[in-house]
Structure 1
């Protein structure tokens, strides 16, 4: 049974502007070390950061804004086949995620079972 659905869209330029203003402080507040390393392994890390930010927001919406859950608690990893998956320590629910990004926007959809 589906417990929740969430969707979010993020401007890549918005993430870039926040990074340019706050730098590593912003990254450390929102993303895990793995997410930062993955994103900065690309020539344009901001579309990857924006996609991960969108996933985190979509997860919070799908879980109906649970108390105590922060963006940093939600980690987006890639499976061995390259598809994204969501890890949340202490949460025992199946989370399906789809994300996409292009030059200006990143979008994510999440289904929680």
Structure 2
């Protein structure tokens, strides 16, 4: 069963302007250490890398129905890669608590994430699925 969906379109140039204006203060406020390190390894596409992750955070906050309130913070939502290389989310704090709260008993939440960009736009979509515990993926 689908618990929630969310999408977000982020302007890469807006992220670049925030990097230019606020530098590491912006990065530290919005992104996890893993996300910052990945973007640093991509100096020519740093803003695009961060914009996709920013969009993913927004999309997740919409999928759980709270936006960035009710204890859900940007730094609690981190884009990571599964062993296959596919992007997924690592959740902590209020983001994990909110996901746990909307997941029905006897189920586990599975987060599906897709990211793409085509300058000047970055896009993310999140689908949260409830999977019965014990069911193979």
TM score, norm. by length of structure 1: 0.94
> 1:77 is matched with which residue?
80
Q: Deviation per CA, 1:72-92, whole angstroms, max 9, x where unpaired?
A: 100100122221010112634
CA distance in 1, matches of 2:90, 2:74: 12
> 2:117 is matched with which residue?
101
| Bigger Cα Rg | 2
CA distance in 1, matches of 2:34, 2:13: 22
Is the counterpart of residue 110 in structure 1 residue 110 in structure 2? no
Q: Please give the root-mean-square deviation of Cα atoms over the aligned residues, in Å.
A: 1.2
User: How many aligned residue pairs are there?
Assistant: 113
CA distance in 1, matches of 2:19, 2:92: 26
Q: Which runs of 5+ in 1 are unaligned?
A: none
Please identify runs of 4+ aligned residues in structure 1 that moved more than 4 A.
none
Higher-RCO chain (CA-CA 8 Å, sequence separation at least 6): 1
> 1:15 is matched with which residue?
15
Q: Which runs of 5+ in 2 are unaligned?
A: 101-108, 130-137
Per the alignment, in what secondary structure is the counterpart of residue 2 of structure 2?
coil
- The aligned runs of 1:20-35 (5 Å cut-off) are 20-35=20-35
